[in-house]
């Protein structure tokens, strides 16, 4: 069984090294807003801290693990959101990628109902292989220190830039993001160490099912979609959320089979969340629909958000927060 686990991880790392790989994706993509789109910086018009954790294929030892930490704040006097994020991916416990980024968004009211929010991100990322975590062939046979000379640890480093735009009202939103913009330059597009251009399109609509006498929304139903294209790979996710404060549940289909050249649906995502005062916690589980990956254990994901009102940046004069799910 151990050999099978090793084979899965080795295969994944091989694919990553022999082609322009896909960026990691959280199933709770609205729970990692700055990673999804710079335009979502300050989207709640509050101060917000978020932590994300994803463990993919947990039945395999040290398969794929993602961590993200972000901060964003809305400056009312400047109609601007500012933020910072750290994202780290560990693949097989050997191949590590770390992204650092600063994000900015600006709110442009079109009329009383609709606003546009352009955004940008400037980042820096580096990758390395931890050779000390690798067991070489002679170590497996002799149970001793390897006689193979470990290569000098080299780190790949690059600057990175993203841009985005978001159109929204109090009931719906539609946005797109372009990540890894330097890949539009031929020097970077030919560089196998720089990720391929990624285009993300997302949107949804939120419906109020019931309002109390004091105009407080008690129950909402939200439908949403997410599409991405990167390195000739297309993926479409569709789903819905239901929230009745303080609880929420969600159901998403990851990889809806509408593209001929790509694999079909690979997971059904179940989500549950709870809000306690200013703290929001969400848990989701990816149920794999692929026979090949059925024994890997799917994926577990947890997000924790703390948001509060902070007077820094001007007095609150809300233009209307983006009505994305309250994650």
Alpha helix stretches (DSSP H) within the chain: 2-18, 33-36, 137-142, 186-189
pLDDT tops 90 at residue 179: yes
Q: For residue 180, what are the CA distances in angstroms to 128, 184, 188?
A: 19, 8, 10
User: Which comes out higher in pLDDT, residue 261 or 197?
Assistant: 197
The tokens describing 218, both together, are 């008690």
pLDDT tens string 288-320: 887 766 678 889 999 999 999 876 666 655 556
Most confident of 144-158, 178-192, 288-302: 178-192
pLDDT at residue 82 above 90? yes
Average pLDDT over residues 228-238: 92
Mean pLDDT, residues 255-279: 86
**What is the C-alpha separation between 32 and 280, in angstroms, rounded?**
13
d(CA 305, CA 49): 6
Q: Tell me the mean pLDDT in the region 64-76.
A: 95
Contacts of 299 (CB under 8 A, 6+ apart): 27, 54, 55, 56, 57, 58, 267, 285, 286
Cα–Cα distance, 214 to 201 (Å, whole number): 36
**What secondary structure letter does DSSP report for 153?**
P
Check: CB of residue 163 under 8 Å from CB of residue 106: no
The CATH number of the domain covering residues in 2-308: 2.40.160.40
* Integer angstrom CA distances of residue 277 from 54, 250, 256, 311: 24, 21, 35, 19
pLDDT at 216 (0 to 100): 60
108, two tokens = 């442009």
**Torsion angle of the four alpha carbons 29, 35, 39, 45, in this order, in degrees rounded to the nearest 10:** 80
pLDDT for 9 equals 46
Q: Which residue has the higher pLDDT, 212 or 132?
A: 132
Average pLDDT of the residues in 164-183 = 96
The overall average pLDDT reported for the chain is 84
Return the top range by mean pLDDT from 16-25, 145-154, 217-226, 275-284: 275-284
The shares of helix, strand and coil residues in the chain, as percent rounded to the nearest 5, are 15, 50, 35
CA angle 158, 162, 166 (to 5 degrees): 165
Q: How many helices (H) and strands (E) does the chain have?
A: 4, 15
Domain residue spans of the chain: 2-308
Q: How confident is the model at residue 61 (pLDDT cuts 50, 70, 90)?
A: confident
Q: Flag whether pLDDT at 213 surpasses 60.
A: no
CA 28 vs. chain centroid, Å, equals 7
pLDDT for residue 17 = 45
114-125: per-residue pLDDT in tens? 999 999 999 998
- What pLDDT shows up at residue 163? 98
């Amino acid at each position: 069984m151990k050999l099978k686990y090793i084979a899965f991880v080795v295969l994944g790392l091989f694919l990553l090294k022999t082609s322009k790989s896909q960026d990691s994706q959280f199933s709770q993509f609205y729970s990692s807003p700055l990673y999804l789109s710079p335009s979502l910086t300050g989207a709640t018009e509050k101060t917000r801290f978020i932590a994300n954790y994803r463990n993919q294929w947990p039945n395999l030892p040290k398969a794929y693990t993602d961590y993200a930490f972000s901060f964003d704040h809305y400056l009312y006097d400047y109609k601007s959101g500012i933020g910072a994020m750290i994202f780290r991916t560990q693949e097989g416990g050997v191949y590590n990628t770390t992204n650092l980024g600063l994000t900015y968004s600006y709110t442009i009211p079109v009329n009383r109902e609709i606003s546009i929010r352009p955004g940008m991100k400037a980042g820096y990322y580096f990758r390395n292989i931890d050779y000390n975590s690798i067991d070489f062939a002679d170590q497996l046979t002799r149970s001793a220190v390897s006689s193979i000379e470990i290569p000098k640890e080299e780190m790949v480093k690059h600057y990175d830039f993203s841009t985005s735009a978001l159109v929204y009202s109090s009931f719906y939103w539609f946005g797109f993001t372009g990540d890894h913009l330097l890949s539009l330059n031929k020097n970077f597009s030919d560089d196998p160490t720089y990720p391929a251009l990624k285009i993300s399109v997302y949107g949804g609509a939120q419906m109020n099912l019931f309002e109390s006498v004091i105009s407080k929304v008690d129950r909402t139903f939200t439908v949403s979609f997410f599409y991405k294209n990167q390195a000739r790979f297309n993926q479409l996710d569709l789903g819905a959320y239901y929230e009745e404060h303080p609880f929420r549940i969600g159901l998403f289909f990851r990889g809806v089979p509408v593209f001929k050249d790509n694999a079909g649906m690979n997971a059904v995502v179940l989500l549950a969340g709870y809000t306690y005062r200013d703290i929001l916690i969400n848990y989701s589980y990816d149920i794999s629909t692929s026979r090949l990956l059925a024994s890997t254990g799917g994926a577990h994901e947890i997000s924790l958000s703390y948001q509060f009102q902070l007077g820094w940046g001007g007095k609150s004069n809300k233009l209307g927060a983006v009505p994305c799910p309250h994650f």
